[in-house]
Amino acid sequence: MRQAAPCGIVGRATSWPQACERVRCAILRDDIHTTGLPALCASCEARHRGICGALTAEQLTLLAKASSKRKAEEGSELIGDAENVESYANVLSGVVKLTKMLSDGRQQIVGLQFAPDFVGRPFRTESTLAAEAATDVELCSFPRATVERMMTEQPDLEHRMLEQTLKELDQARDWMVTLGRKTAAEKVASFILMIARNIDPTMKPGQRAVTFDLPLSRAEIADFLGLTIETVSRQFTRLRSEGVIRIEHNRRVILDDIRKLAASAGN
């Protein structure tokens, strides 16, 4: 039996599988997207779409030396309100819940973060919000001093950080419209649509079918939207009866066509 030729060896009597394997090996050798990158960053989604996308391979290597990946279980506090900030993080998977504590002890959910969002506020020594793992999450953490030094040395990184800040501002303004002008039905649909569009960082543009687990309970969704739990439950039932969504095990949402949900959200 003829043995497959190793990568890089070209012979005349070459089978189609062998030819394909040589091409694959060549691609792996010459892939400019992974050449020179530390192992921590090579398969990281945040490297492409997050702030790390503005860094060169050399800069990623420097950052990786001070970085660490960690996992946090659902409900774990990542940083408390008014705590000293010693590190920042990229969300690699899962959902992070941002909350604000009022003076009387009440807590308000003010935002959600998904991969590859940046957790933290550069150039602040004290946090203004609390961050909690709404689901099991994986984070890539790095020291605040390292990131802030790199921002002064690398204009592209500072530009990428500004872009993300402006994106968050736009999202906050859109959410103000949702909370201030939309009906209860549109609010619930808008919430589900936000999750559907952001929870999977590998989701392809134009993809219609989406399946995900809700990162918040019905009570938390009601708090986030300024509605009662009963109203939220009724709107979920209505969306399900109209065929916009399907629900399994109370928290798993299945969308066969995300455009139907967008229409229900008034988008």
Identify whether the C-beta of residue 97 lies closer than 8 Å to the C-beta of residue 73.
no
pLDDT of the chain, 267 residues: tens digit per residue: 444 444 443 344 445 555 555 544 444 433 434 456 666 677 676 666 777 877 778 888 888 888 899 999 999 999 998 899 899 999 999 999 999 988 888 889 999 999 989 898 888 889 989 999 999 999 999 899 988 888 888 888 888 888 888 888 898 898 889 989 999 999 999 999 999 999 987 788 889 999 999 999 999 999 999 999 999 999 999 999 999 999 999 899 999 999 999 999 987
Query: Domain spanning 182-264: which CATH class is it, in words?
Result: mainly alpha
Strands (E), the chain: 68-72, 77-79, 87-93, 95-101, 107-114, 118-119, 130-133, 137-143, 210-213, 246-248, 252-255
Residue 172 neighbours by CB under 8 Å, 6+ apart: 111
Q: Of 83, 94, 153, 152, whose CA–CA distance to 120 is shortest? A: 83
- Other CB atoms closer than 10 Å to residue 192's CB: what's the count? 25
Residues ≥6 apart with Cβ < 8 Å to 28: none
Name the residue ranges covered by the structural domains of the chain.
1-30, 39-163, 182-264
Which among 119, 128, 121, 137 is positioned nearest to 76, based on CA atoms?
A: 137
Percentage, residues of the chain above pLDDT 70: 83
Topology at the third CATH level for domain 39-163: Jelly Rolls (2.60.120)
pLDDT tens sequence across 174-186: 888 998 999 999 9
User: By 3-state DSSP, what share of the chain in percent is helix, strand and coil, each rounded to 5?
Assistant: 45, 20, 35
* Distance from chain centroid for Cα 163: 16
- Tell the residue number behind the tokens 């992070």, with chain if given: 96
- Which token pair is 177? 């419209």
Is 86 strand, coil or helix?
Answer: coil
Task: Round to whole Å and give the CA distance between 196 and 192.
Answer: 6
